[in-house]
């Protein structure tokens, strides 16, 4: 083998190595991006996201402290079902009203959830992950609030 053939083989080997490194790096970056954008349900995580105090009572008390009930006609109960994401840093985002957006109740729930302190995020495989909650809220006609158990 002459030196040009050796150089050509070295060049091809180096090119193949760089290509493999680029593919591996691209796959790792894609996995990292998936980790940042994928949202788990509460059933898919190892440890569920939870409010400080670790109970629905603590969550209900904190939510009640920032919830401002809109003026409504007297009615027994208003039920609002909200969906939201707990981010990897514990922020509550992407609040959506699934049911019960009458008389401004949905907007009041969105506003209160957006103003709450951070939540301890869910954990999957030892890492903080994004997780989605579906939670019903019952607001009584007198403006008192009852938060049902997390779904």
How does pLDDT run across 15-46, given as a tens digit for each residue?
Answer: 545 555 555 544 444 344 445 679 998 889 99
What pTM value is reported for the model? 0.67
Strands 127-140 and 39-41: parallel
Q: Which residue has the higher pLDDT, 116 or 147?
A: 116
Angle, CA 106 vertex, CA 42 and CA 58 arms, to 5°: 50
Mean pLDDT score, 119-132? 92
User: CA-CA distance, 86 to 41, in Å (whole number)?
Assistant: 10
Q: How many CB atoms lie within 10 A of CB 97?
A: 17
Contact between residue 119 and residue 49 where contact means Cβ atoms under 8 Å apart: yes
Residue 94 — pLDDT band, cuts 50, 70, 90? very high
User: CA-CA distance, 144 to 35, in Å (whole number)?
Assistant: 39
Mean pLDDT score, 95-101? 89
């Amino acid at each position: 083998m002459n030196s040009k053939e050796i150089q050509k083989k070295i060049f091809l080997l180096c090119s193949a190595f760089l290509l493999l490194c680029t593919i591996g790096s691209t796959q790792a970056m894609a996995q990292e991006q998936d980790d940042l954008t994928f949202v788990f349900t509460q059933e898919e995580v190892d440890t569920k996201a939870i409010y400080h105090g670790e109970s629905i009572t603590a969550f209900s008390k904190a939510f009640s402290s920032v919830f401002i009930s809109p003026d409504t006609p007297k009615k027994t109960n208003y039920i609002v079902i909200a969906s939201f994401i707990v981010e990897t840093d514990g922020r509550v985002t992407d609040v959506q009203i699934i049911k019960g957006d009458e008389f401004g109740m949905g907007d009041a729930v969105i506003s209160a959830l957006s103003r709450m302190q951070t939540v301890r995020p869910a954990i999957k495989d030892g890492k903080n992950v994004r997780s989605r909650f579906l939670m019903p809220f019952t607001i009584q006609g007198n403006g008192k609030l009852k938060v049902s158990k997390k779904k």
